[in-house]
Amino acid sequence: MSTSLSPSASASGRPPIADAGPRSLCAREPRVPAERLVAEMVPPPRFDAVRFDTYDPDPQQPSQSEAVTVLADFAAGLGGAHASGSGKKRWFSRTPKSTAPTGPRGVYLDGGYGVGKTHLLASLWHATPAEPALKAFGTFVELTNLVGALGFQQTVQTLGGHRLLCIDEFELDDPGDTVLVSSLLSRLVERGVALAATSNTLPGKLGEGRFAAADFLREIQGLSAHFRPLRIDGQDYRHRGLPEAPAPFSEEQVTKAAYATEGASLDDFPGLLEHLARVHPSRYGALTDGITAVCLTDVGPVPDQSTALRLVVLADRLYDREVPVLAAGVPFDRLFSDEMLNGGYRKKYFRAISRLTALARDAKPLVSQ
């Protein structure tokens, strides 16, 4: 008698599957060429269709409606030829240096988690009257990764012909980033590039609680001078009027769902955290290519801060790509210790909790009732 399994059955009684089973993120070691990093500097899939008129301001928070008006005017003011005198694409060409504009050349959206800052930033990108090749959109981490891939001078040349650079989740985690980004943005502003950024921290407070920010006050003040702060108040829309995130499922439920969902991945959480240490954060997006759902077993508290910060980046990439996360283990609000949640990176961790909670809610339909 043959011991092979038919396509409609398995030894574990799992449901029919279309292929050999779920994928594993731990089995992937993507290589991302610099050209892809540049090409992907556009709003992520979650924000492809957002516009100012699709933003839903909270009537109890007038700063949200005011932000739409200010940003729409900002976008309209970016029409016409680039400050360098050319509206043509200049990915890797040398851009003539132009006279630095007076006053802030950018706008800085400051607010809590889930008030729609990224929605507004992406809407600004879409509303700016310039072809996509002359607008760049990326997270702060993706921008620093681009500099690492291209080098400083090549990054200035690549972005120097742009009309707008949007930087999401602007955070300074170490002195090296402070000097690097301060120098980069100064060079881009000199070339007439407009800036827009989002953060949970006012520009003059960047780096506070993470390193000796006072020693780099000049750089931080220089960064602040490039932006007009725009405060956006409100509560996290991801939880506004919605039920609490679903509690973690059993390992059996998560495994069964992984086998039943085409394109899903299945990994144990400790193994995935170890794998993230071997993959550069610039590749976390590529790590999820083609993945329709991330299924995790044995989810538990993150052991240390370096691991926690890597997990934050992965959570951001999953959220951008709208990849549901189905988990067995502890709830996502118990991933980070009290010490972490009270430390200098607390805003990153709360953002990760908020986004993973939203993705967990999205994953609930994957489990058969």
- Judged against a pLDDT cut of 50, whether residue 207 lies above it is answered with no
Confidence of residue 19 (pLDDT cuts 50, 70, 90): low
Confidence of residue 222 (pLDDT cuts 50, 70, 90): low
Question: In this predicted structure, what is the pLDDT of residue 145?
Answer: 82
| Mean pLDDT confidence for 149-174 | 87
Tens of pLDDT, residue by residue over 239-294, are: 555 446 678 899 999 999 999 999 999 999 999 999 999 998 888 999 999 999 99
Question: In this predicted structure, what is the pLDDT of residue 343?
Answer: 84
Question: In this predicted structure, what is the pLDDT of residue 324?
Answer: 97
Classify 299 in phi/psi space as left (phi over 0), alpha (psi -120 to 50) or beta. beta
Tens of pLDDT, residue by residue over 183-204, are: 898 899 999 999 998 876 544 5
Confidence of residue 12 (pLDDT cuts 50, 70, 90): very low
Residue 69, token pair as written in the block: 């008006």
Residue 223, token pair as written in the block: 């960064």
Tens of pLDDT, residue by residue over 114-160, are: 788 899 999 999 999 999 999 999 988 888 888 988 899 999 999 99
* Residue length of the chain: 369
| Mean pLDDT confidence for 92-110 | 57
- Judged against a pLDDT cut of 60, whether residue 4 lies above it is answered with no
Range 203-239 burial, b when 16+ CB lie within 10 A, else e: beebbeebbebeebeebbebbbbbbeebebebebbbb
Rg from Cα positions in the chain: 22
Question: In this predicted structure, what is the pLDDT of residue 11?
Answer: 39
Question: In this predicted structure, what is the pLDDT of residue 188?
Answer: 92
What letter does residue 91 receive in the DSSP assignment?
S
Residue 314, token pair as written in the block: 């992965």
Mean pLDDT of the chain: 81
